[in-house]
Structure 1
Amino acid sequence: MMSASLSGTNNNRGWILVSGLILVIIALLSYLTPSLGGLIGGCLWAILVILPNIGHKKVDQLIDQQRFGQASRVASLIWWLHPLDGWREQPKLLYALDLGQRGARASAVAILDRYQTATTPTGRSAAVSLYQMDARWEELLLWIQNSLNEAVLRKDFDMLVCYLRTLGETGDLNGMLQAWERYQPSLEKILNPRTQNLARMYVLAFCGKTEYVARLLSGSLSDYSNTIKLFWLATVDQAAGREVIAVEQFLSLADSNNVCIRNAVARRLSSPVVVADTLLTEKSREILFKITTEIESETTYSARASFKPRFAIATYFILTLNVLAFALEVKLGGSTNLNNLYRLGALVPQEVVKGDWWRLLTATFLHFGFLHLLLNMLGLYLFGRLMEFALGSPQFFLLYFASAIGSMLAVTYMSVLGYSQSDFVVGASGCVMGLVGGFTAVLLHEWLRKKTRLAARNLRGILAIIVLQSIFDLTTPQISFVGHTSGLIVGFVMGMILKAF
């Protein structure tokens, strides 16, 4: 069966070159004909960058579904728009896979033989496909070990994923897990969740982790055909020692029209994958535990769709309230009209002290202009979902509104004491910073408990965001530094409390 090796190339030089040329053209046109520069530049972006990228994703999807004939035709169209980065050869290689799938092995081999080499991504894909077509995994492993050095595997993510699968196919589960650990830094650089989760799926399948394989196949790998999904579910059952169930599933695929599927099934039936529990060393079990722990952490603390996506109902509810409040501002007098904002509930510290306590909350739903709303809603969308997934909707509401009221109380208190010049405040930024603080607490809690790579990486990223935001706040007079900082602190404290319970 086809793996990830033909879903595209790892070389982005062509895209960089095209993007650079378009920028140069836009600059020249802006100087020569300012009225047409933007229009022509936009058209070039659409035709030479956006359309090929959309086509690339479609090719990936068709490959996942083993529909190589259609993938070849789409790739041919992409080639006309982007004849770089190996796309010139892609249609022919995909056509070869389609031939092999339909049983025309000799014709497929003739095409793949013409391109196979260990020196280019396309050539490596062709070579791998020759071995995969007949399920010759032992020969493929020898080819990888003899032809590809470690530097290539670290850079060519598709080959790295293929190498992991090949180790599993040949029964070297401990070697597969050791390779996973050795190449972990490279695996973390894979930006495409599909490719990264394909690597995870292979490792988990050969190690008998049925639950995780099923979740991956229903999440970021859901584009795979039902036939492919059933094949891997049968494989993980076989690796888990459920041979009777696995054989029954494999037999249901034995009459597939896809010759490659039939070859793969025949191999599973004649040479079953080893039962993982009988082979894994203690060190391998530790590595496997780390993989599953990372996945659990990602499920909770990341917005990446490794598994079936969830709906952040509380986040979208608050986002909707903010948008409706903005529409009300516009209807009743304008979003930049201070008198209108005052009537609707803007925070004025002196008024709060006099008894208008409701302004502590209403001000967080008002925004000064569309850009103000857009930036805050973007922050709410990004961090709100993360916090809701990590804490649950009720706790998310509690943290959000505690940050809202806490930040506005701090602004009021500091203004009354004369330490702040914020005498008129609107916006949800204190709430958003509360979410940032809460997410920091969640990540810190996770890192202290499990020391996961994901938590450490995200924690570094979130701290960088906090530093940059603080610098921006201190250098921008219109921004309430007190509101942002107090929201951050309240959110962090609430996050630590909620995670503790």
Structure 2
Amino acid sequence: MDLDHILRWMTGLSCALLALRLGRRPDLRRTGWFALSVGLGVALLALHVWRPGEAGLIVGPAWALLIMAPLLLSSAMQRCILRGHLGAALWISRAVMLLHPMDGMRRYPRLLSGLALLDQGQTERARQRLQGLQDSGNDRLSRSARVLLARAEGDWQSLLDWVGGLPGSPLLADSAVLAGSVRALGETDQPAQMLALYRARADAAGAGRDGTDHAITTLIMAALLGRLQLVKALLSGPAGALPATARDLWHATALQRAGRHDDAAAVLERTREACSVQLAREYDRRLSQPLSALPPEALDDEARTYLDELLRRVQHEGRFAPLSGGGGLPRATLGLAALLIGVFALQLPGGATDYENLMSLGALLVPVELTPGEWWRRLSAGFLHFGWMHLGMNLAGLLLLGTWLERAWNAQKLVATFLLCTLASLWLYPLVSGATLEQPQVLVGASGGVMGLLGALLGWLIVGRTQGRSAAVSNQLRSMLLLVGVQVVFDWNTPMVSGTAHLLGLSCGLALGLALGGRAVRRSARAG
């Protein structure tokens, strides 16, 4: 594989997709991310004309440092914040600030330090830090600081007074302000207004995307309306990444609103000792000032019908939208990745790109008549790789796709799918290959299995899309189709890559995804 070719593809594709995504909204076109993606894309095109053999090698490192590294670190930072690892999030935010000092990232460590101080119980220091950030402007970070202060002090009415004009306030375009306003209405015992705001702004905004922010806003609304089934569906699906203590807070909130105060107290007392100082205060507030049960007349029949439909949608997305939501550690995916790395370590003494070494370790030689009786090569070849770059690309695909599929199915089905698709691609390839006895081919790599995971996800999402209307399922299906299209074009334009083996693995995974998705639908119908 040619490094310049790979970097040109990765840089060009990611810059184009990022620019297209940000370019849809005028406010996002003014961000540093948009300027960087367009600038690096233009530089890549220019160098492709002037220095075609070095364009990727020149622009690729800048892309990795200025776009990919800060984006990946930002994603890790958000996961740390969500799970309550604020110390780690603060350190990551400082690294992001160095790599991307635009778009408010210079001030992000200040916001996180205020949040960490709240978490540690240093309320006065946190208030001073957040107050200064709040008063520094009207951007996303200053608005987030205001919401955090309202939450810390339980001063929900002041937040509603500041937002004003519900549900038409322009401030509600900010997801933090929207979530804070939904909670403020619920905490001040305005359930009908809270649901109206959610439907007008949160659900309308979330209809075009699926994400953690929308899931948490939905969770807040459902808990403060006492919709226990909806809360449980959210906590087991799209809001499942929250730490256990936060999940228990919202479970107990729903129990109180449902009139089950003793059960709520038991939930809160069970995990209070594991809470941070700030969250313990919220627990204590629920215990000392429990929410009253929501009276039946608080919601009319139309509102109840809407909430029942929302429950069905969330349950559907929890089953068929695996790209969103939390979940435990993907142990099977990590195990397969460790196995591939271990096998690659065995290749190194003899040379990871040495054909004789690869053959001695189990590479597949096509036509197979050249190695009669050695059927095991059709599986062993799937665990060997032709150099570091080949291994790295397959590991990236495995870790991404495997995590999603393991979340949708389970560890056993993930491993079985990977092995079956690896075997199918390597078993069928000799039947359709153009290799001859005079011009044989050596085939190695886990890409058939990785493409099988992509096909399985695609099949699963197709079944989900046919079973109900869901923005999350539809968005994720489009993402998988785009990924398949990009992969096919890349395969046919990249030397030393077997697009045929990839398509065979993809087809096998697609068949498995459709079959298992259909079986899941039939089981659900029988259970219903």
Matching of residues 90-239 of structure 1 within 5 Å: 112=131, 119-121=138-140, 123-125=142-144, 128=147, 132=151, 135-138=154-157, 140-146=159-165, 149-154=168-173, 156-182=174-200, 183-184=202-203, 186-187=205-206, 193=212, 195-208=213-226, 209=228, 211-212=232-233, 219-222=240-243, 231-239=249-257
Q: Give the letter aligned to residue 234 of structure 1.
A: A
What is the DSSP-based 3-state SS (H/G/I as helix, E as strand, rest coil) of the residue aligned with 2:364? coil
Instruction: Name which one, 1 or 2, has greater alpha-carbon Rg.
Output: 1
Amino acid at match of 1:275: L
When normalised by structure 2's length, the TM-score is: 0.67
CA-to-aligned-CA distance 1:445-498 (integer Å, 9 cap, x gap): 112123332221111011111111111122224222221112211211122223
Change (3 A) 1:104 1:335: closer
Match of 1:272 in 2: 291
1:368 alignment partner, one of 382, 386, 397: 386
1:309 paired to 2:309: no
Question: Which deviations, in whole Å up to 9, do the C-alpha atoms of 1:56-108 show, x marking residues without a partner?
Answer: 7699579x6999xx999999999999697286698599779979x77879x96
Relative to structure 2, which stretch is displaced further, 391-400 or 457-466? 391-400
Q: Percent identity?
A: 24
1:379 CA drift (Å): 1.3
| 1:355 Cα deviation after fit | 3.9
**Which residue of the other structure, out of 447, 464, 472, is the alignment partner of 1:446?**
464
Give the count of matched residue pairs.
462
1:334 aligns with 2:343: no
Contact 2:219 2:239 (C-alpha < 8 Å) held by counterparts? no
Select which of 342, 347, 351 maps to 2:365.
347
- Residue 406 of structure 1 deviates from its aligned partner by 2.1
What is the correspondence of 1:332-481 to structure 2 with a 5 Å cutoff? 333-343=350-360, 344-351=362-369, 354-415=372-433, 423-481=441-499
Matched residues in 2 for 1:199 and 1:386: separation?
Answer: 23
2:74–2:93 CA contact under 8 A, matched in 1? no
Indicate how the Cα distance of structure 1 residues 95 and 454 shifts in structure 2: closer, same or farther if over 3 A, else same: closer
Rounded to whole Å, the distance in 1 between the matches of 2:472 and 2:111 is 39
Q: Distance in 1 between matches of 2:358 and 2:136?
A: 67
Is this contact kept in 2: 1:164–1:176, CA < 8 A?
A: yes
CA distance in 2, matches of 1:147, 1:59: 32
| C-alpha contact 1:173 1:276 (8 A) present in aligned 2 | no
The 10-residue stretch of structure 1 (233-242 or 88-97) with the greater mean CA deviation from structure 2: 88-97
**Matched residues in 2 for 1:405 and 1:71: separation?**
42
2:513 pairs with 1:492: no
SS for the counterpart of 1:329 is helix
Change over 3 Å in CA distance of 1:109–1:277 after alignment to 2: farther
If the length of structure 1 is used for normalisation, what is the TM-score?
A: 0.70
Q: Helix, strand or coil for the counterpart of 1:347?
A: strand
Name the residue aligned to 1:26: none
Correspondence 1:318 to 2:336 = yes
In 2 relative to 1, CA 232–54 (structure 1 residues): closer, same or farther, beyond 3 Å?
closer
In structure 2, C-alpha distance between the alignment counterparts of 1:102 and 1:168, rounded to whole Å:
27
Per-residue CA deviation, residues 99-153 of structure 1 (Å, 9 max, x unaligned), is 9x77879x96999499559944455456556655654434543442338844432
CA displacement, residues 171-208 of structure 1 (integer Å, 9 cap, x when unaligned): 34344344334333544788973x44432331231132
Could you say if the C-alpha distance between residues 131 and 109 of structure 1 is closer, same or farther in structure 2, counting changes exceeding 3 Å? farther
Higher mean Cα deviation, 387-396 or 260-269? 260-269
Cα distance in 1 for partners of 2:251, 2:407 equals 27
Contact 2:421 2:449 in 1 (8 A): yes
Contact 1:207 1:239 in 2 (8 A): yes
SS at match of 2:407: helix
Distance 1:443 1:289 in 2: 23
Structure 1 match to 2:5: none
SS in 1 for 2:386: coil
Gaps of 5+ in 1: 1-9, 24-36
- Distance change in 2, residues 1:174/1:18 (3 Å): same
Distance 1:317 1:453 in 2: 32
Contact 2:172 2:178 in 1 (8 A): yes
Cα drift, residue 428 of structure 1: 1.5
| Cα distance in 1, alignment partners of residues 95 and 379 from structure 2 | 54
| Alpha-carbon distance, 1:432 to partner | 1.4
**Equivalent-residue separation in structure 2 for 1:479 and 1:73 (angstroms):** 40
Contact 1:206 / 1:276 at 8 angstroms: preserved in 2? no
Counterpart in the other structure of 1:482: 500
**Cα shift readout 1:237-275 (whole Å, capped 9, x = no counterpart):** 11122034446778999xx99899779966886683442
Paired letter, 2:459: A
How far, CA to CA, are the matches of 2:384 and 2:279 in structure 1?
A: 60
Q: Distance in 1 between matches of 2:220 and 2:163?
A: 17
3-state SS in 1 of match to 2:473: helix
User: Is the contact made by 1:433 and 1:484 (CA closer than 8 Å) also made in structure 2?
Assistant: yes
Q: Unaligned regions of 5+ residues in structure 2, if any?
A: 1-26, 41-57, 520-528
Structure 1 residue 345: Cα displacement: 3.2
Q: Per the alignment, in what secondary structure is the counterpart of residue 427 of structure 1?
A: coil
Q: Deviations over 1:410-443 (max 9, x none)?
A: 321123698xx87332212122111111111111
The whole-number CA distance in structure 2 between the counterparts of 1:405 and 1:422 is: 20
Say if 1:205 and 1:213, in contact at 8 Å, map to a contact too: no
Query: What letter matches 1:345 in structure 2?
Result: A
How far did residue 341 of structure 1 move? 2.0
Distance 1:325 1:131 in 2: 54
CA contact (8 A) 1:72 1:90 kept: yes
Residues 447, 455 of structure 1: 8 Å contact kept = yes
With over 3 angstroms needed to count, the CA separation of the structure-2 counterparts of 1:96 and 1:234, relative to structure 1, is closer
Distance 2:403 2:79 in 1: 27
Q: 1:96 to 1:247 in 2, by over 3 A?
A: closer
